Amino acid sequence: MLKKIVAVLATLWAAAGLIAGAVLGVYMYRHINHPFYFLLPFVLLGGLGVVPSSLLLLLLRAKTWRARLATVAVYGVAIALAVGGPAAWRNYYETPRNGGPYLVWSDDPKTTMTVCWTAQQSVPGRVEYAAEGAAEWKPAECPATNYPKVKIAGLQPGAKYRYRVPALGGQEHPFQTAPAVPEDFSFAVYGDNRHAGGFSWHSSVMREMVREDGREHFRLILNSGDIVERPGKGYGWQWATFLRDITPLAASRPYEVSLGNHESGGDPPPFEDYFDYGHKEHWRTLDYAGVRFITVSTQDDIKPGSAQYSWLEQALDQKPADNRFTVVTMHKPLLTRDPRGKYNDPVMRGELEPLFAAKGVDIVFAGHVHAYEHHHLPSFEHVITGGGGVLLWAKPTPGPDTVKTETVWHFCAVNVKGKTMSVRALRTDGSVIEAFEVQSKR
């Protein structure tokens, strides 16, 4: 009798877990239209119901102690593998692995290129490079470290080269320097690719970006920040995964990161281990083919009177004579239509929007909110491209300034042709969220 009661209760427990998982799964799927959002709660809650109750039912049915012990052993091994497997994998990746190579500009983009990678052993970094078509390989080196950054200097503007890193197997990668005069080109921009709760769809976004690169030939990849969940100890596996994901593109063109709140800080600060943009501040200017790219740090003081604000005024005032567009990349947005409201910072909108409007900014790419948002502001376009792979949840409510919102993993492909900038926001299957153009004000 007791056995029957326990069996009924166990069956009810399993059914309750499955039903609760399905109900929550349907609710989440209706919020974010992706199968993962059904599967996650269904597997977690369903598992919580089915695993203990099935174990109990099998133990009740078992006729011998040996059978009961074998059942417990099988369940124990399965649970240990499910829980311990990912933990062991993450532990393995805590120490620096051989990752990369990836490129950044730590100096003049017309005449230099900096090759970065991570090394398991701290040994001097060595790169060999050659002009396109030239037979002679030249060396460039840096001191011993687990995070080599080798600057190649003395290059020709607008010229094609190739390089190889012997420590990484010597595979050749092409790269090219910034042109001396404006020309048509494309770049990609996205952000918020970090893991959350162990999950990230960054590799899917990058796969589509690689496919799109076959048509667009991106010269530059911009990331609006939140590249890892936490920067320091315990999250080395996220840096390793991040480098694995970006290398197919970042090995052959610079990768520019606007510091996000998730990779800020740490002692020593790991962001600086991985990225060197030529100076200690997290804000910088890059002029490429008549486009001024301004990277703003929303993790540092940006109020009027701050060092960054003064620098920003100068960066916006002192544009090169051939400037046709000014593009700002920053992590936290000027505004968002996320209904939770907590991401709207009065300093961002109240102080920076008038400055950007007065100084001729053409478009802002931000992140932080896990969705795509496009707002048409009186003087410039404002895009949140925060669907680079992180778990999606934000579901913006369009306002009067909103052109388009969608909660989906995506990136933006931007083409600059003459005085027209064409922006296409693309989902991971290559379909278009929206496309729009910006005309040069110069």
Name the site residues for Fe ion (rule: CB under 5 A): 226, 260-261, 368
Contact in structure between 233 and 94 (CB atoms under 8 Å): yes
| Shortest CB 397 distance to Fe ion, Å | 20
What angle, 0 to 180 degrees and rounded to 10, lies between the N-to-C axes of helices 236-250 and 65-92?
Answer: 60
Nearest distance in Å: CB 257, Fe ion: 13
Q: Is the peptide bond before 268 cis (omega within 30 degrees of 0)?
A: yes
Q: Between residues 226 and 256, which has the closer beta carbon with respect to Fe ion?
A: 226
Tell me the DSSP string of 52-94: HHHHHHHHHH--SHHHHHHHHHHHHHHHHHHHHHHHHHHHHTT
Q: Smallest distance, Å, CB 382 to Fe ion?
A: 16
Residue number, nearest CB to Fe ion: 368
Residue 253 vs 368, nearer CB to Fe ion: 368
38 vs 372 by CB, closer to Fe ion: 372
Cβ-based nearer residue to Fe ion, 229 or 313: 229
β strands within 121-192, DSSP E? 123-131, 138-145, 149-152, 160-164, 172-176, 185-190
Query: Going by C-beta distance under 8 Å and a sequence separation of 6 or more, which residues neighbour residue 170?
Result: 164
Shorter beta-carbon distance to Fe ion: residue 340 or 376:
340
Closer of 253 and 410 to Fe ion (Cβ): 410
Helix, strand, or coil (residue 424): strand
Residue 254 Cβ vs Fe ion, minimum distance, rounded to whole Å: 22
Of the two residues 226 and 353, which places its CB atom closer to Fe ion in the complex? Answer: 226
Check if the beta carbon of residue 178 is closer than 8 Å to that of residue 158. Answer: yes
Q: How far is the CB of 159 from Fe ion (least distance, A)?
A: 37
Shortest distance, position 261 Cβ to Fe ion, whole Å: 4
Token couple for 214: 């076959």
- Tell me how far, at minimum, the Cβ of 264 lies from Fe ion, in Å: 9
Count of Cβ atoms closer than 10 Å to residue 172 Cβ: 14
The residue length of the chain stands at 442
Burial of 239 (0-12, 13-18, 19+ CB in 10 A): buried
For Fe ion, the closer CB: 298 or 428: 298
**Closest distance to Fe ion from the beta carbon of 332 (Å):** 7
Phi then psi dihedrals of residue 392, to 5 deg? -90, 140
